[in-house]
Every structure is written in C-alpha cells, then in structure tokens.
Amino acid sequence: MALFLLLSGVGQGFAEEEGRWEIGIVGGLYKPSLKTLNRILSDPSLALLQDPNNQLQPNILFTPEARNLEVPSYKIDRAFGVEVAREINRRNAFLMTLNLWEGETIGNDIAPQITTTAATDFKDVPRNSRYDISITNLWLGWRYHIPLGSEKSRVYIDIGLIGLAYAQMTVDTLLKVTTPVAQAFPVASSLEATGWGLTSRWGFGGEYFLKKWIAISFRTSYIVGRVPKMKVRRFFPSGFSTPPEPEAGTDLQPRPVPGEVLTYANVKRGGTPNDEIRSNVKTLPLELNGIEGMIGIHFYF
C-alpha cells in the first residue's frame, strides 16, 4: 500500500502523455511449480525413464531404486526479460513481453559399481547429476492504467492474454568407473530435451517517471501454463560415440532417441539384477504455474 501511495504522488505530468512507444528491461524472481518433476526427483521409486541414471547398468547392490538419485526440488531463481508496449490512449496499451528463466538442481551420492568380472566385487564410487531447465515465455497482452489522479506515476493491471512457452531440459550425470585393471576414469552421460506449451500471465504493477522519457517500475504476476510433453533432442550415452549394447535378456530401458517423448514410471527390481519392473508409465509435463516479481527500467519515445 505504501508503494501505491508513492506511485500516486504529484509530479510533472509525464504519465499523462499518450500514443508513445515503450521499451523496458526487467529482472526479478520466478518460481515455476514443476511439481511432477520435483516429485520424481525426490522419490526413488519413481524414475524419469530417459534419465542418464536410468541407463546405468544395475547390479546386486545398484538396484533400480538406488539408481534413481534423490535430488532437491527446484527453488525460486532469477528471471530476465524485455517489454515492448504501444500506448493507445491514457488508459490502455498493447504489450509484448519476453521472459527468460533458468533453474538448476544437483544431486550427489555414492554408487556401488562392479570393479572386476566377479559379480560380488564392488567399489563405492562418487556420482553427480545436474538437472537444468530453462523456460522462455513470450506473451501478447494488454495493460490498463488505473486512474489515480497522478501526474508523474501510475499503477496498472498487467495481463499476458496469449503466451507461448519454450522449455529446454538438460540432464548430466558424471560417474567414476573402475576397469578390471583398476584404471579409474570418469563417465559422463547427457540428455537434452525440449517442449512447447501455452501460458498466460495475470498481475499488476506500477511505474514512476524520473524524466519524461524514462521510468522505473515494479510488477508482480501469477503465471498459468504448462508444457504438456518434452521430446528428446539429443542423448549422449556414457561419453562414448558407440557404447556397447545392453546384455541380451535384460529388461533395461531402451536408449533414448531423438523425438522420443520423456516418460516416467514406478520402478522396482525384478527377479535378477538386470531386470526391473516398470508400471504406470506416464508422459512428463512441466507445470509453469507460479509467482514472478520483477523490477525494471523503461524508455519512452
């Protein structure tokens, strides 16, 4: 409320001009829900089937549940954007907004790996996995300036009516492997996936004019949206250009191929170390619902 009172102070009439173009640079914080992915990463009984971790060979100790690394949920993170607006009159403006957000979560553990040809000879080796997601939102919308009698500042309703979201996901796993001759080397596997979805944005904000052609602003909005599916763009297995095929008779997840839709499922060990039972296979969505808060600087001409 104090901020609204500040923005409604008396000034020099800069906010009352109409028919102008505006370009703004904004930055702030955004936290998309990503509830399905967060649930998968925190539950060892759930697996993202195209995850590089899910491609690792299981053994007596390295069961499907142990193979699914527990990773912290995504947190609130920085967002940046650009706004372009055309003022139609003193109350209304058409608006185009581009926002970029990137989040990352990392998990570490110790994994039991076979060190010789004997199936009972294990060595605990470190494992590190990074899950990176970037979301690009583009909105076409409308801004309504609330009449407060101010001459230098204003508040407004800010709506992104039609929005398009582009999501990119990268999963990197690094595992130390020991060969039968005890020469350790790191193995890196990577998955890249992309997807499209629809979003909208509903919020309010305000701005204060420093001069006729420049203003500072704040905005808070609730974003509603969803990327219904993600598709594999590239998969790099074990850091090798031609990795060995899985042993015959195993029930391991097939190696991801470009265009494959990301899926997740409940997993548990089968009758042998090389077998696993998968059930309730579903497509992975990315839920984008969440609050954003932005501040910015705007130029008028």
> What's the CA gap between 147 and 91, in Å, rounded?
8
Query: Model pTM?
Result: 0.84
Contact present, 165 and 134 (Cβ < 8 Å): no
Statement: residue 253 has pLDDT above 90: no
Return the pLDDT at 4.
Answer: 38
Return the pLDDT at 18.
Answer: 66
Return the pLDDT at 40.
Answer: 96
CA torsion 32-231-283-281 (nearest 10°) is -130
Return the pLDDT at 13.
Answer: 52
67-119 per-position pLDDT tens digit? 888 999 999 999 999 999 999 988 999 999 999 999 999 999 887 765 544 55
| CATH code, 149 | 2.40.160.20
Return the pLDDT at 183.
Answer: 57
Q: Write out the residue range of the structural domain in which residue 224 sits.
A: 2-300
Statement: residue 244 has pLDDT above 60: no
> What's the CA gap between 44 and 46, in Å, rounded?
5
* Cβ atoms within 10 Å of 200's Cβ, excluding its own: 17
Say how far residue 107 (Cα) sits from the centre of its chain: 16
Least confident of 82-91, 111-120, 152-161, 168-177: 111-120
40-49 per-position pLDDT tens digit? 999 989 999 9
What is the tally of structural domains in the chain?
1
